[in-house]
A and B are shown apart, each in its own frame.
Chain A
Amino acid sequence: AQKITQTQPGMFVQEKEAVTLDCTYDTSDPSYGLFWYKQPSSGEMIFLIYQGSYDQQNATEGRYSLNFQKARKSANLVISASQLGDSAMYFCAMSSTTSGTYKYIFGTGTRLKVLA
């Protein structure tokens, strides 16, 4: 069965420092996608970054990078130069095939607080 695990319920980081949010996944599908989303207190979900299972290089999007270690089944999000506006919930997600159809599953999230 597919599963996403985020073991850090909450994290603190000092403004301008880097922070790593952990994500491990489990799937038997050879092809899958890994995503990170940000959810501010307002509730909307914002897409941050994507990594395909066959991608050789780690994905980067501005201050966000995804540390993809396929053998370990981990897809950690690294936020560099943290800003106060980065304070939010962060969710790791995976899309993969189940019985020929694609669906997305999410982890339980990590609440990040950036300190001034």
Chain B
Amino acid sequence: DGGITQSPKYLFRKEGQNVTLSCEQNLNHDAMYWYRQDPGQGLRLIYYSQIVNDFQKGDIAEGYSVSREKKESFPLTVTSAQKNPTAFYLCASSILAGDTGELFFGEGSRLTVL
């Protein structure tokens, strides 16, 4: 079945370490997104990409980096520069059809900094 796969589901990190969250989709979608969700809050956009080798900063990009070398893959690196990285991270994709496309989400990755 087509969908979005995020891994790992749970991740623990020591302060000062970089970690990379994986996001893979087999929906042939052009656009991919990373969101951060803090407890009891909404989703905030970290980065998004609409074509391979191109991506744009969202509202809270500081301390994060991404790459889009393949259409199917959009990994997110949480760097040591991110001051408060403990959160739930959601990856999503959409057909690049303007404003009519719904987002398809992965199951999320929960990062905890020890």
Assess whether A44 is in contact with B100, with CB atoms less than 8 Å apart. Answer: no
Q: Is A103 an interface position by the 8 A CB rule?
A: yes
Other-chain contact of A43, B44, B58, B99, B108 (Cβ < 8 Å): B108
Query: How many angstroms between the C-alpha atoms of A53 and B103 in the bound complex?
Result: 17
Assess whether A103 is in contact with B58, with CB atoms less than 8 Å apart. Answer: yes
Q: A102-B98, A103-B58, A104-B33 in contact; A47/B42 too (CB < 8 A)?
A: no
Mostly, the A contact residues are: strand
From 62 to 114 in chain B, residues with beta carbon under 8 angstroms from any chain A beta carbon are 88, 90, 92, 94, 96, 98-108, 110
**Nearest CB in chain A to that of B97: its residue:** A102
Q: Is A31 an interface position by the 8 A CB rule?
A: yes
Other-chain contact of B107, A43, A53, A101 (Cβ < 8 Å): A43
Assess whether A44 is in contact with B108, with CB atoms less than 8 Å apart. Answer: yes
1/0 contact string of A15-35 vs chain B (CB within 8 Å): 000000000000000011101
Assess whether A47 is in contact with B99, with CB atoms less than 8 Å apart. Answer: no
**Nearest CB in chain A to that of B56: its residue:** A101
Query: How many angstroms between the C-alpha atoms of A6 and B92 in the bound complex?
Result: 22
List, in ascending order, chain B residues with CB within 8 A of A95's CB. Answer: 99, 101
Q: A43-B107, A102-B50 in contact; A97/B99 too (CB < 8 A)?
A: yes
Q: Is B17 an interface position by the 8 A CB rule?
A: no
Q: Is A68 an interface position by the 8 A CB rule?
A: no
List, in ascending order, chain A residues with CB within 8 A of B106's CB. Answer: 44
Q: How far is the CB of A19 from chain B (nearest CB, A)?
A: 19
Assess whether A108 is in contact with B42, with CB atoms less than 8 Å apart. Answer: yes
Q: Is B52 an interface position by the 8 A CB rule?
A: no
List, in ascending order, chain A residues with CB within 8 A of B102's CB. Answer: 35, 47, 50
**Nearest CB in chain B to that of A105: its residue:** B45
List, in ascending order, chain A residues with CB within 8 A of B40's CB. Answer: 9, 109, 111
Extra contacts besides A50-B102, A93-B43 (6): CB < 8 Å: A4-B42, A9-B40, A32-B99, A102-B99, A104-B33, A109-B42
